[in-house]
Amino acid sequence: MNSRWLYYLSQALDAGSIRTASDRLDVEPSVISRQIRQLEQALGLTLVERHGRGVRATEAGDILLDFYRERDVAEQTLFGQLAELDGLQRGHISLSISEGYSDRLMSGVMNDFCARHPQLTIEMNLASVNDVVRQVYESQAHIGIAYAPRLIAGIESVAAVRQPLCAIVHPQHPLTRLPQPLALDAILEWPLGLVGHGYGIRQLIDAVEVLSKRHFHASLVSNSLATLKQYVSSGNGVTFIGSVALLHELRRGQLVALEIDHPVFREAESHVIVRRQRPLSPAAKQLLREIVTLWPFGERRRVE
C-alpha cells in the first residue's frame, strides 16, 4: 500500500474531519479526499463515513488505522535500537503534557537532558488531559504527563502521586482567614475562574458537581492556567489548580493554595503514562527514568 494514502487517512480520522486535517497539513481538502479515495479503490473497501462536516472510520478503516499505527511503532522501535548503538546521540522523543507541569519539567529535567544529548530532538506539546491520553495511545507521543487522567485500556501509568486540587486565591482573599479544609459552600460564594472542558481539573469539578449537587458557576472560562492565575491575582476570584503548577507563585507569596473539603479533590492524582507494550528507545527510556524521579513523582516506581 502507498504510505501516502495511509498517512492522509490517519490524519483525516485523527482530526475528525477532512477540513481540519487540511488546515493542519496546509494542503487542499481535495488532496486528502483523493488520497483516501485511491486507497479505498485499491482495497475495494469503504474506509471512512461522512457525518455532518466530519468523518469517522468504518470497521475496515479502524483495522487499517491500527495497522498503520503499529507499523509506525515498529519503525520507531527499529530506529531506537539503531540509536542504542549510537549512545543516545540521535533520535526523536515526543512528550505530551498538561500545562501545569511544563515549568517543573523544564527546570528539573529537560534543560539538563537536552544539554547532555544535543543531537536528540525533543518535542514537548502542551495538551488537555484527554489529548495527552489520546496522543500516547495513538503513539503520537512516547511519554505523557497528565493531571487526573482517565486511564483507558492500552495506557500504563508508570508513576502516580496524589496531588490534591486546591482553591487558588490572592493572599489577601477573605477565604484565607477561614479554617481549612474549606467547605464547598464557602468557595462557591465567590466568582470562579474555571478551566475548559477536556482538562483533568474540569473533569474533577464536573464530578464534584454531580456528587455534591452543587453548581460551579464560572465568571471566566479559559484553557490557560496562566490566564486563571492572572484572574485570581488581581481580584476576589477563585480558581482550582494543583499546587505543582504553582511552585513559583506560592514561593513568592503571590498566590495561596487552600485545601478543599471534598474527597474527589483530595484524592486527585498526577500520572506519568506510556502506551502499554510499546517499546521505547534507549533515549526515551532514559528520559522516562529521569522524569519519574522528579518531584512530585519521586522514586515511587522503577522504570525498567
**What are the sequence ranges of the domains in the chain?**
3-64, 90-159+274-292, 165-266
Q: Do domains 90-159+274-292 and 165-266 have the same CATH topology?
A: yes
Peptide bond into 179 cis (omega under 30): no
For the domain made up of 165-266, give the CATH fold: D-Maltodextrin-Binding Protein; domain 2 (3.40.190)
10 Å Cβ neighbour count for 250?
15
Question: Is 176 in contact with 206 (CB distance < 8 Å)?
Answer: no
**Residues whose CB falls within 8 Å of the CB of residue 74, separated by 6 or more in sequence, listed in order:** none
Q: Cα–Cα distance between 298 and 247 in angstroms, integer?
A: 16
Question: Is 33 in contact with 22 (CB distance < 8 Å)?
Answer: no
For the domain made up of 90-159+274-292, give the CATH fold: D-Maltodextrin-Binding Protein; domain 2 (3.40.190)
Query: pTM for this structure?
Result: 0.70
Q: Cα–Cα distance between 188 and 117 in angstroms, integer?
A: 48
**Would you write out the chain's pLDDT as a tens digit for each of its 304 residues?**
677 888 888 888 888 888 888 888 888 888 889 989 998 888 888 999 988 778 889 999 888 888 888 887 777 777 766 666 555 556 789 999 988 888 888 888 999 998 988 888 899 999 988 899 989 988 889 999 999 998 888 899 999 999 999 999 999 999 999 999 999 999 999 999 999 887 889 999 999 999 999 999 999 999 888 899 999 998 889 999 988 788 788 888 899 999 999 999 999 999 999 998 777 878 888 899 999 988 788 754 434 4
CA–CA distances in Å: residue 251 to residues 126, 168, 206? 24, 14, 30
Q: Cα–Cα distance between 10 and 70 in angstroms, integer?
A: 12
For the domain made up of 3-64, give the CATH fold: Arc Repressor Mutant, subunit A (1.10.10)
Do you know the residue count of the chain? Answer: 304
